[in-house]
């Protein structure tokens, strides 16, 4: 069923984190309904809006990292492509930043 996708540990951890965030946000929304607020994003957003924008940003960061991995290895004369764990940490940091300040 999932033969089309390469389920490496970083991929599994990334999707597990997304699932945990969705469960956590659902519980948080039930306990404390959100209000609209204005952060650095050009629109007034709710927690759910910021989560959606943050998840999109995290996905794009990971896709760009994987797409540029080979070029980064050439540019910086690395023996192998940089680890995807770097993009995972960076994408989760961006997600947290958007959730807190967006």
Query: Tens of pLDDT along the chain (102 residues)?
Result: 567 777 788 778 888 988 998 999 999 989 998 889 999 999 999 999 999 999 999 989 988 988 888 888 888 888 888 888 899 899 989 999 999 998
At residue 7, what are phi and psi to the nearest 5 degrees? -90, 85
In angstroms, rounded to a whole number, what is the distance separating the alpha carbons of residues 49 and 38?
11
Q: What is the pTM of this model?
A: 0.79
DSSP characters over 47-102? HHHHHHHHHHHHHHHHHHHHHHHHHHHHHTT-SSPPPHHHHHHHHHHHHHHHHHH-
Tokens 């994003």 sit at which residue?
41
């Amino acid at each position: 069923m999932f033969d089309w996708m390469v389920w490496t540990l970083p991929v599994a951890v990334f999707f597990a984190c997304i699932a945990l965030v969705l469960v956590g946000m659902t519980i948080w929304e039930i306990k404390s309904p959100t209000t609209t607020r204005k952060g650095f994003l050009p629109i007034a957003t709710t927690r759910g809006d910021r989560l959606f924008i943050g998840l999109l940003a995290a996905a794009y960061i990971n896709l760009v990292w994987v797409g540029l991995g080979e070029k980064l290895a050439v540019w910086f004369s690395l023996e192998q492509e940089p680890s995807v764990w770097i993009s995972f940490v960076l994408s989760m940091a961006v997600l947290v930043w958007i959730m807190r300040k967006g």
